[in-house]
Amino acid sequence: MKIALINENSQAAKNEIIYNSLKNTVEPMGHEVLNFGMYSADDETQLTYVMNGLLAAILLNSKAVDFVVTGCGTGEGAMLALNSFPGVLCGHVTSPLDAYLFGQVNDGNAIAMPFAQGFGWGAELNLDYTFEKLFSTEMGGGYPKERVVPEQRNKKILDEVKKITHHDIMYVLENIDQDFLKTTVSGEKFKELFFANCQVPEIADYIKKVISE
């Protein structure tokens, strides 16, 4: 699984801590981590949590990555932003138990974490344990086991509902404010990481056009 890490500007200074925790925890499991920044609070491109929602949607719908880890001060704004876009199912995760149950019951493709609220003594351990519980088991296995069938059925229903209630990603890219989109994809390493991993040529071509304008 390819896992993207995205930080917004208020918590950018913690990118290295979060990235190291994620990388050290999941790469021994066979996963790959792509760090889309922000890398520091002084980055030229200042990502907001709304931009991170758009960026996550681009990465997931283009199949450049399989999962997105992001957050903000409380994680709430990031969760709302990501869930406003098509093809993204984001949970608000604060603990290893949250992570395990979200992965097994809800089978989503993104999490939003609080990187300020409650981020004190032992925060790095909570990150380690949370990432371990989220990524050590295949998603969608269900919990408790006697609830597997209805949980998987409900997830399929939710996926179909989102197809109706959300425009597809190309409609979003073509109709969203183009300056907002261009800023979102102007991160320091975006082009290097995105175009090497994007599997949907239509999305790649449109992003290239936006960047070049």
What is the per-residue pLDDT across 95-147, written as a single tens digit (0 to 9) for each? 999 999 999 999 999 999 999 999 999 999 999 999 999 999 999 999 998 99
Roughly what angle, to the nearest 10 degrees, separates helices 201-212 and 190-197? 160
How far apart are the C-alpha atoms of 185 and 180, rounded to whole Å?
Answer: 9
pLDDT in tens, 160-183: 999 999 999 999 999 999 999 999
Query: Within 37-184, where are the H helices?
Result: 49-61, 76-83, 96-101, 123-135, 148-165, 169-175, 178-184
pLDDT tens for 8-24 read: 999 999 999 999 999 99
Residue-level pLDDT at 213: 85
pTM for the model stands at 0.95
The span from the CA of 155 to the CA of 159, in Å, is 6
CATH class of the region 2-212 = alpha beta
Q: Please tell me whether the peptide bond between 38 and the residue prior to it is cis, using omega within 30 degrees of 0.
A: yes
